[in-house]
Amino acid sequence: MTANILLIHPRDNVAVALRDLAPGEEATGSGVTGFKIRNQIPVSHKVALRDLAAGEEIIKYGEVVAVTTQPIQKGEWVHTHNLESKRWRK
């Protein structure tokens, strides 16, 4: 089955949607075990690879790119509604 998410770096706790994803879809990708997508996730957006607590660092490209503002479940869409920047807060 063709991968629908991409893990960019082995340390990452989010993966990237390779196409628009719908709730209930099985996530598949190299190095990422199967789990259910929880929300509508647009292509090139992020999906949580494990449950994240509020205030946890989001790791993408193997580096911290943001901090969560609320708990996020595995398979959930990760974007500006549930994280914040460590700089240039708007």
- Which chain residues interact with another protein by CB under 8 A? 2-3, 6, 8, 16-19, 30, 42-46, 58, 60-66, 78-80, 83-88, 90
Residue nearer to another protein on the CB measure, 20 or 51: 20
**Which of these, 3, 10, 5, 24, lies nearest to 61 by C-alpha position?**
10
What's the half-sphere exposure (Cβ side, CA atoms, 13 Å) at 12? 20
CB atoms within 10 A of CB 50: 12
CB 18 to another protein: min, Å: 4
Residue nearer to another protein on the CB measure, 12 or 35: 12
CB atoms within 10 A of CB 84: 14
CB 50 to another protein: min, Å: 18
Residue nearer to another protein on the CB measure, 3 or 74: 3
CB 15 to another protein: min, Å: 10
Structure tokens at 76: 């959930």
